[in-house]
Structure 1
Amino acid sequence: MTDDHAPADPPLDPAALTWRYFGDTRLLLVGPRAAVLQNMLPALGQGVRDHSVFFSETSARVRRSVGPIMDTVYGGPDAEATGRRVRDYHREVKGTLPDGSRYHALDPATFYWAHATFVDHLMYGIDTFVRPLTDADRRRIYVESKTWFRRYGVSDRVMPEDWEAFQAYWKRMLEEVLEPHPTARYGVGYVTKGLPAPRRVPRALWRLISPPLNAVARFITVGGLPPRARKLLDLPWSPADERRYRRFAAVVRRLDLVWPLLPEAVRYFPHARRAFARDGRPRVR
């Protein structure tokens, strides 16, 4: 039975925290946290392994996924139609897990986990590289994330009711459900093996520039993962690494004082900029 007095989902508009920060380019510094955590859920990791171009065209897969998700947040009047297209991309993503059980990408628990990792990515990115989040901020972003998820048109029966329930859900997933699925291991393989050489870069040049690039990629990738995920994936991370990561994050946060002075094309992804031009600039802080 529906509660006629239940509060309506808040809009995703210029007054939303999600609107202000999801398209912020500083969140690139989080690295592939969301993708790695997604692929540690067995059903999701297996779906990527069986159906995606992730292994042959990793960057292409990332681009095709991120754009429509951003447009689901920023799409204005078309956001629900965009969200349903994202859902429909996954209709045929189904198969069998190694233990013989079946999986389907549109199973609500599987689809919600993918969404939850983006909610976590947003909160972690703001808190680490932009400004500390208050408890009220987190509650606000979580409530906004419910609006966002419902745009996909997938059953919300597994969606935690409130921020406290989401925290409990997240803890249980990390501690009891996630596994070092081969897809997740592949996704972080460059941490120990190095980034693959781009086809158009001469080998001599790549030998020269790859060591610092590999070091940065390792630092951002491993540093941006929860400790539990690092442990499951056997990713080395020392106390000295953690101190360096915290110092790096503190430096980036201090740049928030001058960040608004930079061109909007530097500060925001195109999806966000198009939304700002259409509906107005963010009005929150």
Structure 2
Amino acid sequence: MQETLGPASLIWRYFGDTRMLLVGPRAAVLQNMLPALGQGVLDHSVFFAETFARLKRSAGPIMNTVYGGDATGHRVRDYHLNIKGTMPDGSRYHALDPETYYWAHATFLDNMIYGVETFVRPLADTEKRRLYEESKTWFRLYGVSDRAMPEDWEAFQAYWKRMLDQEITAHKTARYGVGYVTKGLPRPSRVPRPLWRAVSPPLNAVARFLTVGGMHPRMRELLDLPWSDDDERRHRRFAAAVRRMNRIWPLLPEAVRYLPPARRAFAQARMRAS
């Protein structure tokens, strides 16, 4: 039987934590900076026409895999069976190529570790090792070859450095995904234009702050996103203010602390244990 995660895991504790939303689209943008993955989104996704819809459809199944198991993971894998094509240089790509698929997974692990350390608390080295081992269980829920998956935390760190230093690029898909930083958020189709003109300026400011603030410096460099020393200081003060909520965080309703898939999974676990 396929090993799964559970309520005792650190990934269950943190992946569906609502504070992870404060990271912004770090994982999604990083994914699209790998040329093969960015090209697959460019060729096959509705991302450019329906940005919000695509993000919603992608995030839900990943969350459900973490809190649901291999049945959901296999469905996520099968979504990608026909995502294949030709790169501009003539080489072929496929979304289920082990190196490409693992990269997408790795960005979620990075996103969670960064989110916890920025907005919750520092992680001990033993906790990072534990999170990495749990992430291996998570990846295997997809039923995809794990040949590209680093053996341990040290190997993952070397892999991550190499990918940031040598493999990611400012792919068109990634540039489009952060275009609202300078051009503003796209208006949702159901929001009237006059209302959007009134509410979009503050929303754009918050989106820019969270998006660029949550990015690795290498991402900002490649995507040519402005971020000043003053911006960095404001972001650190913001993160510190969020961390100070740790004392009261456990006292808040679970509906505030966790996203719906996580809440359902915890409730089901409690029912099984009772």
TM-score bracket relative to the smaller structure: over 0.9
Are the aligned partners of 2:4 and 2:141 in contact in 1 as well (CA < 8 Å)?
A: no
Q: 2:188 is paired with a residue of what secondary structure? A: coil
Q: State TM-score, norm by structure 2.
A: 0.96
| 2:185 aligned with 1:192 | no
| Alpha-carbon distance between aligned partners in 2 of 1:62 and 1:200, rounded to the nearest angstrom | 17
Q: Which residue is 1:5 aligned to?
A: none
| Alpha-carbon distance between aligned partners in 2 of 1:205 and 1:215, rounded to the nearest angstrom | 17
Q: Which residue is 1:70 aligned to?
A: 63
Are the aligned partners of 1:34 and 1:118 in contact in 2 as well (CA < 8 Å)?
A: yes
Superposition deviation, residue 11 in structure 1: 4.8
Q: Which residue is 1:23 aligned to?
A: 16
| Alpha-carbon distance between aligned partners in 1 of 2:194 and 2:4, rounded to the nearest angstrom | 52
Q: Which residue is 1:55 aligned to?
A: 48
Q: Which residue is 1:37 aligned to?
A: 30
| Alpha-carbon distance between aligned partners in 2 of 1:227 and 1:177, rounded to the nearest angstrom | 15
| 2:259 aligned with 1:266 | no
Are the aligned partners of 1:112 and 1:159 in contact in 2 as well (CA < 8 Å)?
A: yes
Q: 2:93 is paired with a residue of what secondary structure? A: strand
Q: Which residue is 1:276 aligned to?
A: 266
Question: Unaligned stretches of 5+ in structure 2?
Answer: none
Q: 2:85 is paired with a residue of what secondary structure? A: strand
Residues 150-189 of structure 1: matches in 2 within 5 Å? 150-189=140-179
Superposition deviation, residue 206 in structure 1: 2.4
Residue type at the aligned position of 2:15: F
| 2:239 aligned with 1:239 | no
Superposition deviation, residue 10 in structure 1: 7.3
Superposition deviation, residue 48 in structure 1: 0.3
- Tell me which of 81, 92, 97 is aligned to 2:71: 81
Are the aligned partners of 2:35 and 2:171 in contact in 1 as well (CA < 8 Å)?
A: yes
Are the aligned partners of 2:31 and 2:107 in contact in 1 as well (CA < 8 Å)?
A: yes
Alignment deviations for residues 252-281 of structure 1 (CA, whole Å, 9 cap, x no partner): 011111111111111111111111111139
| Alpha-carbon distance between aligned partners in 1 of 2:159 and 2:165, rounded to the nearest angstrom | 10
| 2:241 aligned with 1:248 | no
| Alpha-carbon distance between aligned partners in 2 of 1:96 and 1:11, rounded to the nearest angstrom | 35
Are the aligned partners of 1:42 and 1:179 in contact in 2 as well (CA < 8 Å)?
A: yes
Q: State TM-score, norm by structure 1.
A: 0.92
Q: Which residue is 2:202 aligned to?
A: 212
Alignment deviations for residues 16-48 of structure 1 (CA, whole Å, 9 cap, x no partner): 100111111110001100000000000000000
Q: Which residue is 1:138 aligned to?
A: 128
Residue type at the aligned position of 2:28: A
Residue type at the aligned position of 1:69: I
As a proportion of its length, which structure holds more helix?
2
Superposition deviation, residue 196 in structure 1: 1.8
| Alpha-carbon distance between aligned partners in 1 of 2:188 and 2:145, rounded to the nearest angstrom | 41
Q: Which residue is 2:213 aligned to?
A: 223
Q: 2:157 is paired with a residue of what secondary structure? A: helix
| Alpha-carbon distance between aligned partners in 1 of 2:166 and 2:245, rounded to the nearest angstrom | 38
Are the aligned partners of 1:71 and 1:271 in contact in 2 as well (CA < 8 Å)?
A: yes
| Alpha-carbon distance between aligned partners in 2 of 1:278 and 1:47, rounded to the nearest angstrom | 36
Pairwise CA RMSD of aligned residues?
1.3
Are the aligned partners of 1:160 and 1:166 in contact in 2 as well (CA < 8 Å)?
A: yes
Cα 1:14/1:153, change in 2 over 3 Å = same
Percent pairwise identity: 75
